[in-house]
Amino acid sequence: MAKHYGVLTFDNRGPIKTWERMTATQRHNARSEPLPHCDPAAPGPVYIIGSPDLVSDTKAALCEHGIDPAGIRKNGVIAYEVIMTASHAYFTQGDEAEHTSRLWQWVARAYLAAKKIWGSSRIVQMVLHLDEFTPHLHVVLLPLVQKVFGRRQSDGPRWTLNGREIAGPGQYQRAHNEYAAEIEPLGLFRGEQKSGRKYRPYADVVAEVETKMREAATAATAGQKAQQEAALKEQARAAQWAEQSERAERERAALDEREKALGKRLLRAELHERSLKMRETKAAAVEMEARRKASEADRLLTEARQMQARVTDQLRAIADIRSRADGLVALLDQVESERLTQTQAAALTASRGISTAIGNAGLGEDTVLLEQMAAHRAKRER
């Protein structure tokens, strides 16, 4: 027949050192919030000691012992939480009536054991939970101790909090031994000392199972995702290969077109080069003709300049001749003028003589003679 064991363990989070942690413990023990590993159809918490308001009960207990809850030093221990239970199989033997009998016999023995181990004044709450895999008790303990303070010995013993009273050296083993001794009549045994095995709350087991299930689901999902990614990668590679092939074909066609275009460009370049050579030849001929014409123009310009110089000299000579001729003409005009004056004077004298002679001759108004004389005179004047 399999042996059944009594289990006693301290909360693996360590002692309660803040009122925030105490409030969280209150919510958990009172089931103020639904928990995924708890059966909502099971009976609610059963308070053997204390009430659902753990924080108020704790502060009231501290005040009863003369300790100010607000004066507890920072990081100082306020309380410990202990879980008392037994092997799951112990509670499930027999029919329903035996289940109930075994449960409450164990609760009574655990209650007595807690009072013997820690004392009634230190237990601020003892609550029974039946909504998890195995029934268990949560026991909240105040590490109360009386002592005489050295500086105030006259005040006598005073209550204070000292975690060593609950979790000091040897206290853990003592609690196990006394709990085992109390429940031994129920057929429950103490576990092997220093075995290294620790009690694991059902919530932790459930959490671990859920974690493993999540990990398995995650692994399965990851496997499916990996397969999908592999398929997608293969499709992507095929698409990439097809795209690369198509791109290579396009590039080959483009290269052929470029080669054709290049051939046309080379042909045009060759024709252009020939045209340039012809133009260069023509340009060279034009340049030579231009140089020849420039040379001829220079020669003609030189000759024109020489001719211009000769013409200038000739013009100067002509001007000099003209100046001299003008002087000569002026002189001749002067001479002619003087000569005409003399001639006119002589003609006048002659005319006067003729007139006298005519008068003396008695010709009177003979117009014919007068006209002859006038014509002769005019001729002489010319």
Whole-number pLDDT of residue 170: 92
Both tokens of 197, joined, read 């095995």
CA separation for the pair 139, 54 (Å, rounded) = 11
The CA-atom distances, in angstroms, between 246 and each of 232, 237, 252 are: 20, 14, 10
SS3 177: helix
Both tokens of 225, joined, read 């995702």
pTM: 0.54
Task: Give the containing element (helix H, strand E) for 175.
Answer: helix 171-183
CA separation for the pair 125, 59 (Å, rounded) = 12
Length in residues, the chain:
382
N-to-C CA span, the chain: 193
Place of tokens 């087991």: 205
Going residue by residue through the chain, which has 382 residues, state the pLDDT in tens, using 9 for 90 and above.
678 999 999 999 999 999 999 999 999 999 988 888 888 889 999 999 999 999 999 999 999 999 999 989 888 999 999 999 999 999 999 999 999 999 999 999 999 999 999 999 999 999 999 999 999 999 999 999 988 776 777 777 889 999 999 999 999 999 999 999 999 999 999 876 655 555 455 455 545 545 565 675 677 677 678 778 877 887 888 678 778 878 878 888 887 888 888 888 878 878 888 888 888 888 788 788 888 888 887 888 888 788 888 868 878 877 877 788 788 778 878 877 787 777 677 767 766 776 676 667 665 555 555 566 667 667 766 6
Residues 6+ positions from 366 with CB-CB distance below 8 Å: 358
Q: Which residue, among 101, 10, 91, 104, has the nearest Cα to 48 in the 3D structure?
A: 104
The CA-atom distances, in angstroms, between 140 and each of 37, 58, 185, 285, 373 are: 22, 9, 25, 123, 189
CA separation for the pair 115, 145 (Å, rounded) = 15
194 forms beta bridges with none
SS3 299: helix
In contact, 203 and 133? CB cutoff 8 Å: no
CA separation for the pair 313, 123 (Å, rounded) = 153
Whole-number pLDDT of residue 209: 44
Q: Which residue, among 8, 159, 196, 160, has the nearest Cα to 86 in the 3D structure?
A: 8
Place of tokens 């033997």: 93
CA separation for the pair 382, 379 (Å, rounded) = 5
